[in-house]
Amino acid sequence: MSAPLVGLTCDTIDGRSVCPGTYTRAIEQAGGVPLLLPNRPALAPVYADLCDAFVLTGGEDPDMAPFGEATHPRAVVVHPDRQAFETALLRELSARHPDKPTLGVCLGMQWMALLAGGTLDQHLPDACPTSADHADDRTHGVEPCVPDPWVTSGVITSKHHQAVCDPGGLRVVARAPDGIIEAIDDASRRFYRGVQWHPERTAEPALGIEIYRALVSAASVHAAAARG
């Protein structure tokens, strides 16, 4: 059986599609084949059909206007093509491929929460005295907060200045010691998970490469079932 094809979202920088190599290496190490997805909203249905799984990668901040809120003046907003594409892709997967494994990392987790009706803290220093712990690839602890979670306790690597306040219709799975939401999921779907940290840069295997291995394993199972 061939390795599953894992679609990775990208930034648009000077007209180019850019994705850090840490993501592609993690997918390859986990046994998958990484495929970079250019930000073309009209192609979201094509990508949703083509790939066996998806990783919505980290990036800058959402434009909150489509979600009914003003964007914080300190936000650094993602390229509009990226926002249009990633939100279209998530909606396409929810509508037509809810069982295709999907992992949201950092910004990717925030898209998941927003599309589920949730909200963000748009500038952590405004409300979180320990916001510096979540910036600049610093490490800090994480603890699961539901029975039998897919997240273990341990140490993670973070780089974000926004965070999920309310995951909407999704479930909170883990938090940092200061209460910041670190993992969410949709328990009604086979593999729809978001992590606020960067597992591709986390040294602890259970919270690092094993997150990607779980995605690739779920993708292999889904692809085999789809082929019958």
Residue 68 in this model has a pLDDT that exceeds 90: yes
In degrees, to the nearest 5, what angle opens at C-alpha 122 toward C-alphas 116 and 124?
A: 120
Residue 69 in this model has a pLDDT that exceeds 80: yes
Q: What is the pLDDT of residue 172?
A: 98
Number of domains in the chain: 1
**pTM of structure:** 0.97
What are 122's two structure tokens?
A: 């748009």
Residue 184 in this model has a pLDDT that exceeds 80: yes
Q: What is the pLDDT of residue 130?
A: 84
Query: Which of 93-102, 119-128, 185-194 shows the lowest per-residue confidence on average (mean pLDDT)?
Result: 119-128
Where in the sequence is the domain holding 42, given as residue range(s)?
Answer: 5-227
The closest of 1, 3, 170 to 90, measured between CA atoms, is 170
pLDDT band at 148 (very low <50, low <70, confident <90, very high): confident
Bridge partner list, 103:
55, 193
Residue 227 in this model has a pLDDT that exceeds 80: no
Q: What is the pLDDT of residue 1?
A: 59
The phi and psi torsions of 205 (rounded to 5 degrees) equal -55, -40
Residue 118 in this model has a pLDDT that exceeds 90: yes
3-state helix, strand, coil in the chain (%, to 5): 35, 25, 40
The residue with greater pLDDT, 226 or 64, is: 64
Query: Average pLDDT of 147-157?
Result: 94
CATH number (domain holding residue 95): 3.40.50.880
CB-CB neighbours of 97 under 10 Å: 17
Q: What is the pLDDT of residue 225?
A: 83
Residues 78, 11 contacting (CB under 8 angstroms) = yes
Residue-wise pLDDT tens digits, 81-95: 999 999 999 999 999
